Structure 1
Amino acid sequence: MTERDIIFVANEVNELGGVARWQALMAALFAERGHKVTIVGIAPPEVPMDLGENPPFDTVTLYDVRPPGRWQARTLRDRANLAARKRENARESAMRAAAGRLSDIFRAARPGAMIIVTQVWAMEWVAAADTAGHAVIGMSHESYEYSRGSSRFQRVLTFYKDVSRLLLLTQEDADLWMGRGLNNVGFMPNPLPMMPEVPSQRTEKVVVSIGRLGHQKGIDMLLDTWAEAAPGHPGWTLRIYGSGPDEAALKQQCTDLGLDDSVEWAGQTDDVVGALHGASVFVQSSRGEGFPLALLEAMACGVPCAAFDCAPGVREIVRTEEDGLLARPGNTSELARQLGRLMESAELRDSMGEKARENVQRYSPTAITDRWEELFALLER
């Protein structure tokens, strides 16, 4: 195996969330195999994630504060706005300087280095830099359909069309991007973040959710779901782990729905295994996902999942009616019914939980890292 320089370029080095967790995990897995790994962030994180003491990779952040968005003159008055033009010139000058720092990092890398761009906003700086002849792997960590609803969709088409390889999280998503005319597309699942020796006992009357309290994770829909499921299942608690911008509004919604006695707000946690060991069911109510680590973690702990089928990655991970249960996206009544089935039957929880723990091992870190090594060898030819 060739030891390489591997350079991740992301929006941030350690912004709290799934992408940063995946990035730190992959960086550590590559470092274990003897590669020299660097994570470059464009901007500092708004909500930092702890990378632990002495992570086995280097980190660099290009800006001290988050750079402003691009300004475009759309009217005659805009064109006459000298202050705005001056700010735009300053932004462009700062971007050239940041791209220059990135060029220096790429030029210092050994032949055979791999540049992995984890988010498409960061690709704007990579596109402006000298990649020194190294292979560039672009990534999108969300489903094709979720991308379509954001500005990232056009950015993927613009900035990833000429990279060495564009990686999506599933074959289904890759096929959809191919249909948009991209001919450099492949897919790479996320690896299993952990595999605890002991699974959950599934004895607590607790349903757990873990995720950022923001629009994407759909906790508002989860509360509507719980309002339907809870009355028929007295003694059960919905325990919500996470923090985020919607926290106050969600807690008010919880009160308005009369759920304060059966919903527990557990805050942010670094002990995911502990949280899952205290659960008998895991629920995910996201509006959009890529290849969610939270589902992998729950299944590794032997906790059966009920989730909205909101992305190819979700139905790739959860084999519905075998190791978990899926509901149509946004259909809170259907998700409530699926939750109810798991809450009502210890036999169903145990059979699906045990099957989940068995099935999820197809995403073992060794298997996924081997696939990355094969891709590196292919791109070096």
Structure 2
Amino acid sequence: MKITFLIHNVYAIGGTIRTTLNLAAALADRHEVTIVSMLRHRTRPRFAVDPRVTVVPLVDLRADAADPLLHRPAEVFPAAEKRYEQYSRLTDQRAREYLRNCEADVIIGTRPGINVYLARFAPTRALRIAQEHLTHDMHTKKLRAQLARNYRDLDALVTTTDADAAVYRARMRLPGVRILAVPNGVPDPGLPPTDGTAPTDGSAPVIAAAGRLVRAKRFDLLIEAFTEVAAKHSDWSLRVYGAGADKDRLQRLIEERGLSGRAALMGAVSPIEAEFAKASIVASASDAESFGMTLVEAMRCGIPVVATDCPLGPAEIIDDGVDGRLVPMGDRQALAAALSDLIADEPGRRRMGEAARAAARRFDPAHVAHAYEELFDDLAATRSSRARQRRKARWRSRVGRALRRPRR
């Protein structure tokens, strides 16, 4: 089977890129896989690409800089999509040309605007699958309306959590389109053990966290909670990995709380697993997560995670009290208490880390690839019945509009 992924820019760094490369490599065990990158800005991708996977860039921002279409605003890519300013009439044109001639059996889009290209231009003989790496509620009302009009022509919409799939089923009527959740795949980090059984022995007095330094990730809440932890446990430190617009504010907060030397902003590191393996706890204080890649990455290293029970991912990843801890969103005291409890209980921390490592095996890319293969088979088998559902819904819609039309 020929499978093609459509991605924003495989040459950059980001969670969608990582999980797409993980899934592509797993599928390449049995299929011919291509990744089509809408944009390219450098010679080589920053992440390693499986040599069995073909990468095809559509618009090279270096070679195409003089093309006048590159400097004209996109007409097909939705203006309400947050990446709109990076798209142009040239990306519209190249996407149309590539997709209309694409010979893939399955084509998978990986962000909303690209999924519009998929719906508009991809051949109907191919299975057309839209992935959602954010969530329904993270999109504006204007964008959701445009997506609803285009997604009706797709075969499936895949979210990363069951909770988000339920929201889409309730709020975006897509007859004939399968809406389901398949989690992101995270490979075994392959780190050498320090005690013969796990990548960490659970004794390093370090709490780690990682993500974009933006307000929604609530690293400020984590720093505030660590202020309480640091007062009780003088040998423990906090390391925050990531880059972003909130860096200066977070650095000031560290200094204001007297945590210089105890809490540090470490900068962006990728892959992050080697740094997580140097810690004994990983923390997440987010107000919202579309999935929670860093939670799974920590668990695959055998590190227990303390996370806020925010929408939508953590509760589907962590079994509270078994392989990690969930605390109420925005509750500094609860976060500090959960961290302190794990610090004080090293044997329990080790047991929880082992449970986390075992539980996280369900996110292995091979399992995720198998879920997609089952989806491909189901979509192919139900193509005719889903087409009938789509036609019936459109007929009812036309009849409804006619009945509502005022008589002259």
Runs of 5+ consecutive residues of structure 2 not aligned to the other structure: 63-68, 77-86, 382-408
The answer to whether the 8 Å contact 1:37/1:57 transfers is yes
CA deviations on 1:113-165 (whole Å, 9 max, x unpaired) are 111111102223334424353111011113444x2568654454343233110
Q: In the alignment, residue 32 of structure 2 is paired with which amino acid?
A: K
Aligned to 1:50: 46
For residue 246 of structure 1, report the CA deviation from its aligned partner.
2.1
Deviates further, 52-61 or 352-361: 52-61
For residue 367 of structure 1, report the CA deviation from its aligned partner.
1.7
Runs of 5+ consecutive residues of structure 1 not aligned to the other structure: 67-85
Within 5 Å, give how 1:24-173 maps onto structure 2.
24-33=21-30, 35-44=31-40, 50-52=46-48, 55-65=51-61, 91-92=74-75, 95=88, 97-110=90-103, 113-131=105-123, 133-145=125-137, 147=138, 153-173=144-164
Aligned to 1:254: 254
Q: In the alignment, residue 125 of structure 2 is paired with which amino acid?
A: G
For residue 225 of structure 1, report the CA deviation from its aligned partner.
2.1
SS at match of 2:356: helix
CA deviations on 1:287-322 (whole Å, 9 max, x unpaired) are 221222211111111111000111232111100011
TM-score by length of 1: 0.84
Aligned to 1:71: none
Q: In the alignment, residue 47 of structure 2 is paired with which amino acid?
A: L
2: CA distance, partners of 1:333 / 1:155: 42
Aligned to 2:182: 188
**Structure 2 CA distance for partners of 1:90 and 1:360, relative to 1, 3 Å:** closer
**Structure 2 CA distance for partners of 1:135 and 1:340, relative to 1, 3 Å:** same
**Structure 2 CA distance for partners of 1:275 and 1:151, relative to 1, 3 Å:** farther
**Structure 2 CA distance for partners of 1:151 and 1:211, relative to 1, 3 Å:** farther
2: CA distance, partners of 1:252 / 1:124: 42
Aligned to 1:179: 170
SS at match of 2:130: strand
The answer to whether the 8 Å contact 2:159/2:180 transfers is yes
The answer to whether the 8 Å contact 1:170/1:313 transfers is yes
The answer to whether the 8 Å contact 2:70/2:89 transfers is no
TM-score by length of 2: 0.78
2: CA distance, partners of 1:328 / 1:45: 41
Q: In the alignment, residue 308 of structure 2 is paired with which amino acid?
A: F
Aligned to 2:402: none
**Structure 2 CA distance for partners of 1:282 and 1:45, relative to 1, 3 Å:** farther
Aligned pair count reads 355
1: CA distance, partners of 2:13 / 2:70: 30
**Structure 2 CA distance for partners of 1:166 and 1:361, relative to 1, 3 Å:** same
**Structure 2 CA distance for partners of 1:122 and 1:223, relative to 1, 3 Å:** same
CA deviations on 1:52-85 (whole Å, 9 max, x unpaired) are 377432333434459xxxxxxxxxxxxxxxxxxx
For residue 21 of structure 1, report the CA deviation from its aligned partner.
0.7
Fraction of identical pairs, as percent: 28
SS at match of 2:28: helix
The answer to whether the 8 Å contact 2:187/2:363 transfers is no
For residue 108 of structure 1, report the CA deviation from its aligned partner.
4.0
CA deviations on 1:72-122 (whole Å, 9 max, x unpaired) are xxxxxxxxxxxxxx9997644985553342244334443x61111111022
**Structure 2 CA distance for partners of 1:28 and 1:153, relative to 1, 3 Å:** same
**Structure 2 CA distance for partners of 1:186 and 1:350, relative to 1, 3 Å:** same
